[in-house]
Structure 1
Amino acid sequence: MKILTNEQMRTADEQTIREQQITSWDHMERAANNLMAWIKKNLPNDNPYHIYAGVGNNGGDGLALARLLAQAGKKVKVTLVPFSEVHTEDFTKNLNLLKEGFPQVEISSVSQPETSEDYLQANEKTFAAVKGKPAKGFEDFVANKYNGSQTITIDAVFGVGLSRRVSPWVQRVLEEINRQKGLIISIDVPSGMYLGEDRHEKDVFVTPHVVLTFFAPKLPFLLPQTGRYIPYWEVLPLPLSFDYLKETNTEYDYTTEKEIKRLLRTRHRFTNKGTYGHALIVGGSYGKIGAAILSGKATLRSGAGLLTLLLPKCGYQIAQTALPEAMVLTASQEEELAPTDVPFSPSAIGIGIGMGTSAYAQGTLAALLRNFPTVPFVIDADALNLVASSEDLLRALPKNTILTPHPKELERLIGKWSDDLDRQAKAKEFAKKHKVILVLKGAFTMITDGDHFWVNSTGNPALATAGSGDVLTGVITGLLSQGYTPLNAAIVGVYIHGKAADTYVRNTKKNTMIASNIIDFLS
């Protein structure tokens, strides 16, 4: 699913209107009807509604929704936020329809002050900034607060078209929205959430309980700095030009089940274990053999035909007992890895889990990279730190090696970043320069090959548990072993890893999951 930029979304709307021979107002009505359908399904109680509407097309969506709510017998109040003297045609049309057809709807307007300073002084005691306190999730809110009397606030001030920082007096209106005690719903994006180069960390934006957006999620939903303020969002259908979507290249794709099904391979009857490759998992040290066991189990569970574990001597008995399906090679050292002859040519190598960063560990990684220059690698954990500290190891990585850093490991690879967009740019530059694939682990894990980003749609906070990353390394290694391309192995591996966690928590609490559960639910 393509994630369109603001400009691409505008162009898609325009081309859709031309191709389908409809008016922009018709297009807006479609959006409003889909919003109304969601409200009917999810908010059946007889709540009053307070809609804050800007003077652009997002405000037009809000006014169209106000009309539909009033038509359904709901009590509706509208507050206009005239952030500009220019009003869009569809906003004006919807405002006139609302005034003429539904006189019971109370419509007021925020008066723009002579200067921002006047407004701030006049309202200094009235408003208190709440940015920095993420709203509770929709499910929690419904369970604890939603009832038939509390006012539901609809934020329709700004949409994806916002291309500049919001003026201070409008930011105070956004704070007023945040102070509302009932459910807060933003249309398209939270008003004021802006990713332009002139953004400021103290800028105020709406922190809703729910965002209802159209066609695809928007990038701010998926980045840590802004996404943490959006506990629940949902994509509503909105038909857009098929030709435009097909022909338009985007920097980001949102990976859904539909895309994964196209990439998954099926097993054929006339095959054997050799068909699905022989994977090598390299890791473990005294006290950390379990990391390699988890990774090995995940490698087999994700479909590798054969598995060998390369461990220090202290891991031999543990591995043979805990994972009888695997073969075990041991290094010369008792408690840590050391360079070891591997008497077969692996189909894929996953390395780093629990191995430490000693000179022996560094030598092990260097030897494997030297001996198997064409084998696909997954570099994780301690191996990432070794690569980050050695230009020689970095240069030795085969093309399309997969690196799976968490934020701290990523920082060691690419350096510090100032904000999420800077992180994205530096990660992309690193992947392109070194011809590797980066898996940026997080709430929405992102994969980049240096040209593009794939944003994963699965997973939940239950994955914040010891060994979760070890399992991911095993899953990706197992897919590589079967012949998946490195990019597809990363995309599919991250998806099914998150999907396993989603499946587990469906009927249990998120804080009960451990890494072994992920492996159990990979099927």
Structure 2
Amino acid sequence: MEYSMHLPVLTCAEAAAEETRFIQGRTNVSWQLMQRAAQGIAQEALTFLNRRPQKILVLAGKGKNGADALLAAKNCCHNSTSIEVIFSDGIPRNGLPYKAWKLCQKKTTVVPQNRLTSLKKEKFCLIFDGLLGQGFQAPLSDKIARLVEFSHSLKGLRIAVDLPSGIGDDSTGPAFRADLTISIGCLKRPLLSPLAQRFVGRLRVIDIGLPFPESNESCTTTTLLSVLNQPRPARTDKRLQGKLLIIGGSENLSGAVMMNTAAALQSGTALVTTCLPQSIKAKAVVAYPEAMWRGFATSKDGSIAVKNLPLIKKLLPQNEVLLIGSGMSKSAGPFIQKVVKSFCGDLVLDADALRPEVIRKVSHAKNLVLLPHAGEFKRLSRQSLSIASGKKYAKKWNAIVVLKGPLTAITDGTRVVYIPWGGPILARGGSGDILAGMVGSLLARRKSLGLLAFNAVELAVTWHAFAADDLRKKWGEEAVRTTQLLSGLPSVLKKV
């Protein structure tokens, strides 16, 4: 089985058509895909649960979605796990759902419809929703609607298999309220609807080996990270493994530029030069001696003074990539404008550099990369952050825009790539500063890696998000620090 670096965004109807075209009536192929789906669902569910499940409940419909859910539950089992199943249409009697049931039967107890209320007293580790799949057409039948509503009274981590029951091409709810939705084979378009978000929860996408045509709208997979597992050329030189210039920081905000630098070093760039206020240089050198630190005089507000421009301009042509903006103040705007106007390489703007007046000064950059969250995007464009507004802005300024949020997306005005990892663990100070350093680093290394600028950016964002998932698995979401992402960057590469 070959895994893809990208999986497309498709409507449910499109996904079903592609699946049918691939299977061509071959039951054995359909069964293989079902088993792969079950393995992937179980892996994601166990990663999210982060412990061995004792009790699992499956809500199973009459189709393949119910079979996927049953097999996934079986794959989550260990010796003491118990599985209970509620069949919406009775025990399956034929086809692949019957085959899946026979495989799971010994470990599974069927809950009759007249005993449902007794389940409210139980606490389940996992509740799988396999009532309806990509073939759903609104509205919910009364029978399914009652089961969905009943499920909301149960305790347990709620997993939607492929889509929450009630979500489809023509429906955004009411639906099963999932904590985690695992889309199978591709990213289903209904899951991206703003109206569906309260039902989707966190979103993951699993590759089961279905071949799809190239698409301008897709999501990355961890296979993309395999690029970073290739050995470096035997006779390479540090000057061939990336030269990155970082300008940032102020006397009151020294952490951001230090995290930029730490992330750039940890993600592989050989030569990192960081310009920051002279007053914070000493502690930076001690923290990260691998970087080349340049300290500069500051203005009254503590940011790098404009009078330093002649010295900084000498550094610009020595570097392939410039990252600027992290930890600088609003008053640093005139200084930032003069710097970006003079730079001719790949330019990454973050934080205080994400201002309309700065963008207007960019004229010679080979590639422009912007890293806004919702507030910064509104400051830039005077529009609320959305995929449509992000594409429009990227096209207008010929930029690669990383739209940071619960489901981060990258666009160049034509393509849109979603990053289905990360999530709430990244909702803390400093995660954007680490991402900026990684983006700058992989842009600086893109020639040695054989990547275009867009691919280097999506590689950095995917690596950052996957490391966040790994950090959550190891330590949970509460008692962690943002900088712990850095120590996890090497280990996640071993998992792809």
Compute the TM-score of the two structures, normalised by the length of structure 2.
Answer: 0.74
- Aligned-partner Cα distance in 1 for 2:14–2:406: 26
- Aligned-partner Cα distance in 1 for 2:412–2:479: 34
Within the candidate set 119, 123, 126, 1:145 is matched to: 123
Aligned Cα RMSD in Å?
A: 4.2
1:494 matched residue in structure 2: 461
- Aligned-partner Cα distance in 2 for 1:263–1:238: 23
2:241 matched residue in structure 1: 276
- Structure 2 counterpart of 1:364, one-letter code: F
2:397 matched residue in structure 1: 434
2:45 matched residue in structure 1: none
Displacement of 1:218 in angstroms is 3.1
For 2:475, what is the secondary structure of its paired residue?
coil
Displacement of 1:284 in angstroms is 0.8
* Structure 2 residue runs without a partner (length 5+): 1-5, 35-62, 491-496
- Structure 1 counterpart of 2:85, one-letter code: Y
For 2:314, what is the secondary structure of its paired residue?
coil
Displacement of 1:520 in angstroms is 2.9
For 1:292, what is the secondary structure of its paired residue?
helix
For 1:300, what is the secondary structure of its paired residue?
helix
Change over 3 Å in CA distance of 1:78–1:255 after alignment to 2: farther
* Structure 1 residue runs without a partner (length 5+): 80-105, 107-125, 127-140
- Aligned-partner Cα distance in 2 for 1:509–1:182: 17
Change over 3 Å in CA distance of 1:353–1:11 after alignment to 2: same
2:54 matched residue in structure 1: none
Which deviates more from structure 2 when the two are superposed, residues 266-275 or residues 428-437?
266-275
- Structure 2 counterpart of 1:146, one-letter code: F
Say whether the 8 Å CA contact 1:224–1:443 is kept in structure 2.
Answer: no
Indicate yes or no: 2:484 matched with 1:510. Answer: no
For 1:401, what is the secondary structure of its paired residue?
strand
Within the candidate set 477, 492, 511, 2:440 is matched to: 477
- Aligned-partner Cα distance in 1 for 2:389–2:379: 12
For 1:479, what is the secondary structure of its paired residue?
helix
Change over 3 Å in CA distance of 1:12–1:78 after alignment to 2: farther
2:86 matched residue in structure 1: 50
Residue correspondence of structure 1 range 159-198 to structure 2 within 5 A: 159-162=133-136, 174-180=148-154, 186-194=160-168
Say whether the 8 Å CA contact 2:321–2:347 is kept in structure 1.
Answer: yes
Deviations 1:320-353 (A, max 9, x none): 3333333333444341123312323121001110
Change over 3 Å in CA distance of 1:270–1:237 after alignment to 2: closer
Indicate yes or no: 2:313 matched with 1:348. Answer: no
1:409 matched residue in structure 2: 376
- Structure 1 counterpart of 2:7, one-letter code: K
Which deviates more from structure 2 when the two are superposed, residues 337-346 or residues 16-25?
16-25
Say whether the 8 Å CA contact 1:31–1:61 is kept in structure 2.
Answer: no
Deviations 1:110-154 (A, max 9, x none): xxxxxxxxxxxxxxxx9xxxxxxxxxxxxxx9xx9238xx9x675
Say whether the 8 Å CA contact 1:51–1:62 is kept in structure 2.
Answer: no
Displacement of 1:5 in angstroms is 2.3
Displacement of 1:34 in angstroms is 4.6
- Structure 1 counterpart of 2:70, one-letter code: M
Indicate yes or no: 2:292 matched with 1:313. Answer: no
- Structure 2 counterpart of 1:305, one-letter code: A
Indicate yes or no: 2:345 matched with 1:375. Answer: yes
Deviations 1:63-120 (A, max 9, x none): 65895489548443687xxxxxxxxxxxxxxxxxxxxxxxxxx9xxxxxxxxxxxxxx
- Aligned-partner Cα distance in 1 for 2:142–2:87: 21
For 2:402, what is the secondary structure of its paired residue?
strand
- Structure 1 counterpart of 2:226, one-letter code: K
Displacement of 1:366 in angstroms is 1.6
Report how many residues are paired: 438
- Structure 2 counterpart of 1:280, one-letter code: L
Higher radius of gyration, 1 or 2: 1
Displacement of 1:263 in angstroms is 6.3
Indicate yes or no: 2:7 matched with 1:2. Answer: yes
- Aligned-partner Cα distance in 2 for 1:294–1:436: 24
- Structure 2 counterpart of 1:188, one-letter code: D
Change over 3 Å in CA distance of 1:376–1:190 after alignment to 2: same
Indicate yes or no: 2:186 matched with 1:216. Answer: yes
- Aligned-partner Cα distance in 2 for 1:214–1:265: 28
Displacement of 1:491 in angstroms is 1.2
1:445 matched residue in structure 2: 408
Deviations 1:151-170 (A, max 9, x none): x67541x4224465669997
Residue correspondence of structure 1 range 10-89 to structure 2 within 5 A: 10-18=16-24, 20=26, 34-43=68-77, 45-52=81-88, 64=98, 68=102, 72=106, 74-76=108-110
Indicate yes or no: 2:335 matched with 1:364. Answer: yes
- Structure 2 counterpart of 1:274, one-letter code: R
Within the candidate set 208, 215, 218, 1:253 is matched to: 218
Say whether the 8 Å CA contact 1:49–1:153 is kept in structure 2.
Answer: no
Say whether the 8 Å CA contact 2:11–2:169 is kept in structure 1.
Answer: no
For 1:510, what is the secondary structure of its paired residue?
coil
Compute the TM-score of the two structures, normalised by the length of structure 1.
Answer: 0.70
Deviations 1:342-373 (A, max 9, x none): 32312100111011111xx222222222211x
1:522 matched residue in structure 2: 489
For 1:511, what is the secondary structure of its paired residue?
coil
Displacement of 1:19 in angstroms is 7.1
Displacement of 1:445 in angstroms is 2.2
Say whether the 8 Å CA contact 1:279–1:304 is kept in structure 2.
Answer: yes
Deviations 1:263-316 (A, max 9, x none): 666422322221123211111112112211111122122222222222233333
Say whether the 8 Å CA contact 1:32–1:65 is kept in structure 2.
Answer: no
Which deviates more from structure 2 when the two are superposed, residues 510-519 or residues 39-48?
39-48
Say whether the 8 Å CA contact 1:31–1:238 is kept in structure 2.
Answer: no
Say whether the 8 Å CA contact 2:431–2:482 is kept in structure 1.
Answer: yes
More strand by share: 2
- Structure 1 counterpart of 2:152, one-letter code: N
For 2:417, what is the secondary structure of its paired residue?
strand
Say whether the 8 Å CA contact 1:52–1:154 is kept in structure 2.
Answer: no
For 1:324, what is the secondary structure of its paired residue?
coil
Change over 3 Å in CA distance of 1:226–1:336 after alignment to 2: same
Change over 3 Å in CA distance of 1:225–1:415 after alignment to 2: farther
- Aligned-partner Cα distance in 2 for 1:231–1:461: 11
For 1:512, what is the secondary structure of its paired residue?
coil
Deviations 1:174-199 (A, max 9, x none): 43443345676544311222465x85
